[in-house]
Amino acid sequence: MRYNSQNINIQSLSSWFNGDYTTVDVLRLDRIHPVISGNKWFKLKYYLEAAERTGKNTIASFGGAYSNHIAALAYAGREHGLKTIGFIRGEAHSPLSHTLTAAQACGMELVFINRSDYRFKDAIIQTHADPGWYWIPEGGYGPEGARGASEILKLVDVSGYSHILCAVGTGTMMAGLVRTASANQEVIGISVMKGNEALQKAVDDLLDAGDQQKQHRILHDYHFGGYGKHPSNLVRFMQGLWENEQLPTDIVYTSKLLFAVKDCIEKKYFHKNSRLLVIHSGGLQGNNSLPPHTLPF
Ligand SMILES: *Cc1c(COP(=O)(O)O)cnc(C)c1O
Protein backbone atom coordinates (compact mmCIF):
# COMPACT_ATOMS: atom_id res chain seq x y z
CA MET A 1 0.00 0.00 0.00
CA ARG A 2 1.35 3.39 -0.91
CA TYR A 3 1.74 6.16 1.60
CA ASN A 4 3.94 9.14 1.80
CA SER A 5 6.40 8.41 4.59
CA GLN A 6 8.39 11.54 3.73
CA ASN A 7 5.56 13.57 5.22
CA ILE A 8 5.83 11.89 8.59
CA ASN A 9 7.71 14.08 11.03
CA ILE A 10 8.28 14.67 14.70
CA GLN A 11 6.89 17.85 16.18
CA SER A 12 8.14 19.06 19.56
CA LEU A 13 5.56 20.74 21.77
CA SER A 14 7.71 23.61 22.94
CA SER A 15 5.00 25.44 24.90
CA TRP A 16 4.57 22.38 27.12
CA PHE A 17 8.11 22.46 28.37
CA ASN A 18 7.94 23.04 32.11
CA GLY A 19 11.48 22.35 33.19
CA ASP A 20 10.86 18.84 34.48
CA TYR A 21 10.52 17.20 31.10
CA THR A 22 13.14 17.11 28.45
CA THR A 23 10.83 16.51 25.53
CA VAL A 24 7.24 16.04 24.47
CA ASP A 25 7.43 15.00 20.83
CA VAL A 26 4.55 14.08 18.57
CA LEU A 27 4.98 11.54 15.78
CA ARG A 28 2.77 12.97 13.05
CA LEU A 29 1.32 9.88 11.37
CA ASP A 30 -1.67 12.04 10.47
CA ARG A 31 0.47 13.56 7.73
CA ILE A 32 0.73 10.32 5.74
CA HIS A 33 -2.25 11.16 3.61
CA PRO A 34 -4.64 14.13 3.47
CA VAL A 35 -7.81 12.00 3.52
CA ILE A 36 -6.91 8.71 5.19
CA SER A 37 -4.43 9.49 7.88
CA GLY A 38 -2.66 7.76 10.67
CA ASN A 39 -2.53 4.28 12.09
CA LYS A 40 -5.12 2.71 9.80
CA TRP A 41 -2.62 2.41 6.96
CA PHE A 42 -0.41 0.30 9.18
CA LYS A 43 -3.22 -1.74 10.67
CA LEU A 44 -4.67 -2.64 7.27
CA LYS A 45 -1.41 -3.52 5.58
CA TYR A 46 -1.20 -7.23 6.39
CA TYR A 47 -4.94 -7.83 6.09
CA LEU A 48 -4.80 -6.53 2.53
CA GLU A 49 -1.76 -8.64 1.85
CA ALA A 50 -3.53 -11.74 3.19
CA ALA A 51 -6.61 -11.02 1.08
CA GLU A 52 -4.52 -10.71 -2.05
CA ARG A 53 -2.39 -13.75 -1.23
CA THR A 54 -5.47 -15.92 -0.79
CA GLY A 55 -7.02 -14.66 -4.02
CA LYS A 56 -10.00 -12.81 -2.54
CA ASN A 57 -11.70 -10.11 -4.56
CA THR A 58 -13.70 -8.44 -1.79
CA ILE A 59 -12.92 -7.21 1.71
CA ALA A 60 -15.71 -6.95 4.25
CA SER A 61 -15.56 -5.35 7.67
CA PHE A 62 -17.60 -3.71 10.40
CA GLY A 63 -17.88 -0.23 11.85
CA GLY A 64 -20.01 2.66 13.00
CA ALA A 65 -21.12 5.68 10.98
CA TYR A 66 -18.00 7.67 11.98
CA SER A 67 -15.48 4.84 11.79
CA ASN A 68 -11.98 5.81 10.65
CA HIS A 69 -11.41 2.12 9.97
CA ILE A 70 -14.28 2.02 7.46
CA ALA A 71 -13.07 5.22 5.79
CA ALA A 72 -9.53 3.88 5.49
CA LEU A 73 -10.64 0.46 4.28
CA ALA A 74 -12.79 1.97 1.54
CA TYR A 75 -9.89 4.03 0.32
CA ALA A 76 -7.30 1.25 0.60
CA GLY A 77 -9.59 -1.24 -1.16
CA ARG A 78 -9.90 1.08 -4.10
CA GLU A 79 -6.10 1.53 -4.19
CA HIS A 80 -5.67 -2.26 -4.29
CA GLY A 81 -8.41 -2.94 -6.80
CA LEU A 82 -10.42 -4.87 -4.22
CA LYS A 83 -14.15 -4.45 -3.72
CA THR A 84 -15.11 -3.37 -0.20
CA ILE A 85 -18.27 -3.92 1.82
CA GLY A 86 -18.89 -2.17 5.11
CA PHE A 87 -21.38 -3.61 7.58
CA ILE A 88 -22.48 -0.50 9.41
CA ARG A 89 -23.95 -0.43 12.92
CA GLY A 90 -27.43 1.10 13.08
CA GLU A 91 -29.94 2.42 10.57
CA ALA A 92 -29.04 4.42 7.47
CA HIS A 93 -29.55 8.10 8.23
CA SER A 94 -30.16 10.60 5.51
CA PRO A 95 -27.95 12.37 4.77
CA LEU A 96 -25.25 9.82 5.49
CA SER A 97 -22.39 10.83 7.77
CA HIS A 98 -19.42 12.46 6.11
CA THR A 99 -17.40 9.29 6.78
CA LEU A 100 -19.89 7.00 5.05
CA THR A 101 -20.39 9.39 2.15
CA ALA A 102 -16.62 9.38 1.59
CA ALA A 103 -16.49 5.57 1.90
CA GLN A 104 -19.26 5.22 -0.67
CA ALA A 105 -17.45 7.62 -2.99
CA CYS A 106 -14.48 5.22 -2.86
CA GLY A 107 -16.79 2.46 -4.05
CA MET A 108 -17.60 0.77 -0.75
CA GLU A 109 -20.96 -0.96 -0.55
CA LEU A 110 -22.72 -0.18 2.72
CA VAL A 111 -24.96 -2.67 4.49
CA PHE A 112 -26.79 -1.32 7.53
CA ILE A 113 -27.35 -3.70 10.43
CA ASN A 114 -29.59 -2.80 13.36
CA ARG A 115 -27.89 -2.47 16.70
CA SER A 116 -29.16 -5.71 18.21
CA ASP A 117 -28.13 -7.87 15.23
CA TYR A 118 -24.81 -6.03 14.92
CA ARG A 119 -23.61 -7.58 18.16
CA PHE A 120 -23.61 -11.01 16.52
CA LYS A 121 -20.78 -10.63 14.04
CA ASP A 122 -20.35 -14.37 13.51
CA ALA A 123 -23.97 -14.67 12.44
CA ILE A 124 -23.53 -11.81 9.98
CA ILE A 125 -20.43 -13.48 8.56
CA GLN A 126 -22.25 -16.80 8.22
CA THR A 127 -25.27 -15.21 6.52
CA HIS A 128 -23.02 -13.53 3.98
CA ALA A 129 -20.54 -16.37 3.58
CA ASP A 130 -18.78 -16.05 0.24
CA PRO A 131 -15.52 -17.72 -0.74
CA GLY A 132 -14.34 -14.57 -2.51
CA TRP A 133 -14.61 -12.43 0.62
CA TYR A 134 -11.94 -11.66 3.17
CA TRP A 135 -13.27 -10.50 6.55
CA ILE A 136 -11.43 -8.00 8.71
CA PRO A 137 -12.61 -7.87 12.33
CA GLU A 138 -14.25 -4.67 13.58
CA GLY A 139 -11.74 -1.87 13.98
CA GLY A 140 -9.00 -4.03 12.43
CA TYR A 141 -8.44 -5.84 15.74
CA GLY A 142 -6.19 -8.87 15.33
CA PRO A 143 -2.63 -10.14 14.95
CA GLU A 144 -2.29 -8.89 11.36
CA GLY A 145 -3.32 -5.43 12.52
CA ALA A 146 -0.82 -5.48 15.39
CA ARG A 147 1.90 -6.71 13.06
CA GLY A 148 1.29 -3.75 10.76
CA ALA A 149 1.23 -1.35 13.70
CA SER A 150 4.52 -2.78 14.96
CA GLU A 151 6.15 -0.98 12.03
CA ILE A 152 5.13 2.47 13.31
CA LEU A 153 8.07 2.75 15.69
CA LYS A 154 10.48 1.76 12.92
CA LEU A 155 9.73 4.90 10.91
CA VAL A 156 12.01 7.08 12.99
CA ASP A 157 14.69 6.56 15.63
CA VAL A 158 12.74 6.19 18.89
CA SER A 159 15.56 4.85 21.04
CA GLY A 160 15.87 8.07 23.06
CA TYR A 161 12.31 8.08 24.41
CA SER A 162 11.36 6.83 27.84
CA HIS A 163 7.60 6.68 27.19
CA ILE A 164 5.48 6.05 24.09
CA LEU A 165 1.88 7.27 24.38
CA CYS A 166 -1.08 6.45 22.15
CA ALA A 167 -4.86 6.53 22.02
CA VAL A 168 -6.58 3.16 22.40
CA GLY A 169 -9.74 1.94 20.69
CA THR A 170 -9.43 -1.80 20.09
CA GLY A 171 -5.86 -1.96 21.43
CA THR A 172 -4.40 -3.21 18.15
CA MET A 173 -2.09 -0.26 17.59
CA MET A 174 -0.95 -0.33 21.21
CA ALA A 175 -0.05 -4.01 20.92
CA GLY A 176 2.00 -3.20 17.83
CA LEU A 177 3.84 -0.44 19.67
CA VAL A 178 4.60 -2.71 22.62
CA ARG A 179 6.03 -5.29 20.23
CA THR A 180 8.59 -2.85 18.90
CA ALA A 181 9.27 -0.90 22.11
CA SER A 182 12.43 -1.73 24.00
CA ALA A 183 12.55 -3.11 27.51
CA ASN A 184 13.43 0.26 29.07
CA GLN A 185 10.49 2.06 27.43
CA GLU A 186 6.96 2.19 28.78
CA VAL A 187 3.98 2.23 26.42
CA ILE A 188 0.97 4.08 27.85
CA GLY A 189 -2.42 3.80 26.18
CA ILE A 190 -5.23 6.27 26.73
CA SER A 191 -8.59 4.55 26.42
CA VAL A 192 -11.19 6.65 24.61
CA MET A 193 -13.98 4.42 25.90
CA LYS A 194 -15.68 4.56 29.25
CA GLY A 195 -14.74 1.75 31.60
CA ASN A 196 -13.48 -0.67 28.97
CA GLU A 197 -11.65 -2.88 31.45
CA ALA A 198 -11.35 -5.67 28.88
CA LEU A 199 -8.74 -3.67 26.97
CA GLN A 200 -5.69 -4.85 28.89
CA LYS A 201 -6.47 -8.44 27.99
CA ALA A 202 -7.32 -7.47 24.41
CA VAL A 203 -3.84 -5.96 24.08
CA ASP A 204 -2.09 -8.85 25.80
CA ASP A 205 -3.89 -11.38 23.59
CA LEU A 206 -2.04 -9.86 20.64
CA LEU A 207 1.37 -10.20 22.33
CA ASP A 208 3.59 -13.19 22.85
CA ALA A 209 4.74 -14.07 26.35
CA GLY A 210 7.97 -12.09 26.02
CA ASP A 211 6.27 -8.90 24.86
CA GLN A 212 3.64 -9.20 27.58
CA GLN A 213 6.46 -8.65 30.08
CA LYS A 214 7.32 -5.26 28.63
CA GLN A 215 6.10 -2.19 30.49
CA HIS A 216 2.68 -1.15 29.23
CA ARG A 217 -0.45 0.18 30.86
CA ILE A 218 -3.79 1.69 29.95
CA LEU A 219 -5.23 4.80 31.60
CA HIS A 220 -9.03 4.92 31.80
CA ASP A 221 -9.67 8.45 33.09
CA TYR A 222 -9.66 10.42 29.85
CA HIS A 223 -12.74 9.23 27.94
CA PHE A 224 -14.64 12.55 28.40
CA GLY A 225 -17.93 10.73 28.88
CA GLY A 226 -17.41 7.90 26.44
CA TYR A 227 -16.57 6.97 22.88
CA GLY A 228 -17.22 9.85 20.49
CA LYS A 229 -18.22 12.24 23.26
CA HIS A 230 -16.59 15.62 22.89
CA PRO A 231 -17.73 18.12 25.52
CA SER A 232 -16.92 21.79 25.06
CA ASN A 233 -13.86 21.69 27.33
CA LEU A 234 -12.31 19.11 25.00
CA VAL A 235 -13.09 21.23 21.94
CA ARG A 236 -11.56 24.29 23.69
CA PHE A 237 -8.45 22.25 24.43
CA MET A 238 -8.20 21.35 20.73
CA GLN A 239 -8.53 24.99 19.77
CA GLY A 240 -5.77 25.95 22.21
CA LEU A 241 -3.49 23.20 20.97
CA TRP A 242 -3.87 24.54 17.46
CA GLU A 243 -3.27 28.14 18.53
CA ASN A 244 -0.20 27.37 20.63
CA GLU A 245 1.39 24.54 18.68
CA GLN A 246 -0.35 24.32 15.29
CA LEU A 247 -1.17 20.73 16.13
CA PRO A 248 -4.49 19.53 14.69
CA THR A 249 -6.24 16.75 16.64
CA ASP A 250 -9.43 14.74 16.16
CA ILE A 251 -12.42 14.70 18.49
CA VAL A 252 -12.48 10.93 19.08
CA TYR A 253 -8.89 9.88 19.76
CA THR A 254 -5.95 12.23 19.57
CA SER A 255 -7.51 15.17 21.44
CA LYS A 256 -8.13 12.90 24.43
CA LEU A 257 -4.62 11.51 24.15
CA LEU A 258 -2.99 14.95 24.12
CA PHE A 259 -5.22 16.14 26.96
CA ALA A 260 -4.17 13.10 29.00
CA VAL A 261 -0.49 13.68 28.32
CA LYS A 262 -0.75 17.30 29.43
CA ASP A 263 -2.73 16.37 32.53
CA CYS A 264 -0.24 13.64 33.47
CA ILE A 265 2.64 16.10 33.05
CA GLU A 266 0.90 18.63 35.28
CA LYS A 267 0.24 15.94 37.90
CA LYS A 268 3.92 14.93 37.77
CA TYR A 269 3.06 11.43 36.66
CA PHE A 270 6.35 11.03 34.79
CA HIS A 271 9.75 11.03 36.39
CA LYS A 272 12.02 14.00 35.84
CA ASN A 273 13.77 14.11 32.46
CA SER A 274 11.30 11.78 30.83
CA ARG A 275 11.25 11.93 27.07
CA LEU A 276 7.76 11.41 25.76
CA LEU A 277 6.83 10.33 22.25
CA VAL A 278 3.13 10.86 21.54
CA ILE A 279 1.72 8.98 18.54
CA HIS A 280 -0.58 11.17 16.46
CA SER A 281 -2.63 8.38 14.94
CA GLY A 282 -4.63 10.61 12.59
CA GLY A 283 -8.41 10.42 12.45
CA LEU A 284 -8.86 14.04 11.39
CA GLN A 285 -11.60 13.07 8.93
CA GLY A 286 -13.83 12.51 11.97
CA ASN A 287 -13.86 16.26 12.63
CA ASN A 288 -15.96 16.70 9.51
CA SER A 289 -18.97 15.61 11.52
CA LEU A 290 -18.72 18.79 13.66
CA PRO A 291 -20.71 21.91 12.76
CA PRO A 292 -18.74 24.07 10.28
CA HIS A 293 -16.15 26.44 11.82
CA THR A 294 -16.10 24.64 15.19
CA LEU A 295 -12.34 24.18 14.77
CA PRO A 296 -9.84 26.59 13.28
CA PHE A 297 -8.07 23.88 11.21
C1 LIG B 1 -8.60 3.66 15.11
C2 LIG B 1 -7.87 4.76 15.77
C3 LIG B 1 -7.21 4.59 17.00
C4 LIG B 1 -7.31 3.31 17.80
O5 LIG B 1 -6.59 2.26 17.27
P6 LIG B 1 -6.80 0.81 17.89
O7 LIG B 1 -5.79 0.00 17.20
O8 LIG B 1 -8.20 0.39 17.51
O9 LIG B 1 -6.66 0.88 19.35
C10 LIG B 1 -6.49 5.64 17.52
N11 LIG B 1 -6.43 6.82 16.88
C12 LIG B 1 -7.06 7.04 15.72
C13 LIG B 1 -6.99 8.37 15.12
C14 LIG B 1 -7.80 6.02 15.14
O15 LIG B 1 -8.45 6.26 13.98
R_g of the chain, CA atoms, integer Å? 19
Cβ of 181 below 6 Å from ligand 1: no
* Residues written for the chain: 297
Read off the pLDDT of residues 25-71 as tens digits, 9 standing for 90 and up.
Answer: 999 999 987 666 789 989 999 999 999 999 999 999 999 999 999 99
Distance CA 202, CA 217 (A): 12
pLDDT at 280 over 70: yes
Is there a contact between 161 and 74 (Cβ–Cβ < 8 Å)?
no
Residue identifier of the C-alpha nearest atom 2 of ligand 1: 169
Residue 39 CB neighbours (<10 A): 32
- What is the per-residue pLDDT for 41? 86
Residue 246 DSSP SS3: coil
- Distance (angstroms) between ligand 1 centre and the Cα of 117 equals 24
Mean of pLDDT values over 184-199: 97
Question: For the CA atoms of 146, 151, 157, 163, what is the dihedral angle to 10 degrees?
Answer: -10
Read off the pLDDT of residues 75-87 as tens digits, 9 standing for 90 and up.
Answer: 999 999 999 999 9
- Distance (angstroms) between ligand 1 centre and the Cα of 281 equals 7
